[in-house]
Amino acid sequence: MTGEGTVRLRPPNNTLNERAVAWWRSQCLLTTAVPVAVLAVLGAFIGPARTWLWFAAGALAVLGLAGTAFFPSWWYRVHRWEVTEEAVYVRTGALWQEWRIAPMSRIQTVDTVRGPLEQLFRLATVTVTTASAKGAIRIEGLDHEVAAALAEQLTRITHATPGDAT
């Protein structure tokens, strides 16, 4: 049923920056490397359990490397975002896809964050906080200049949008 004023759900138009894949890979590698290193060090110092600890470290390393090779590319293909005069649209998730739509009148704050790894890859995350029990909408993996422009655009649009954001 389509008519005047009907909104059709469609995939958001914008992809993330391609550097997000390398950023996610770095996060996966760091998340894998720390427990692998701990298990390997423990294996070097604990005699009777040495074989099991090294086996666990090796298995974790293989799984971590496989995930690092596969998941970031997949995440890049499925993550999308878009901003219109009416709402912010975000689609995330690889296995369980989540679509979030935040009407401009519900937006309370817009934040831009750049962690150390994001700074290294010249990326940023824009967080749109709404009056929703579900929580904030995050758009990760944006070029830092695009993120700054997006935060400015959202601030301008929400300021001009009537509503009380509650």
Residue 150 to residue 142: CA distance in whole angstroms: 10
Which residue, 124, 89, 122, is CA-closest to 104?
89
Do both 152 and 93 map to the same domain? yes
* Distance, CA of 149 to chain centre: 18
97: CATH? 2.30.29.210
151 in the same domain as 102: yes
Given pLDDT bands bounded at 50, 70 and 90, which one contains residue 81?
Answer: very high
Q: How far is C-alpha 69 from the geometric centre of its chain's CA atoms? A: 17
- Lowest-pLDDT choice from 89-93, 115-119, 131-135, 148-152: 131-135
pLDDT 10s digits, 34-77: 999 999 999 888 877 788 999 999 999 999 999 999 999 999 99
Closest-CA residue to 125 (of 145, 140, 109, 143): 140
Q: Which of 124, 132, 131 is nearest to 150 (CA)?
A: 124
Question: What's the total number of domains in the chain?
Answer: 2
Last residue of a domain, one of 76, 94, 122: 76
The model carries a pTM of 0.82
Neighbours of 155 (CB within 10 A): 13
Do 68 and 139 lie in one domain? The reply is no
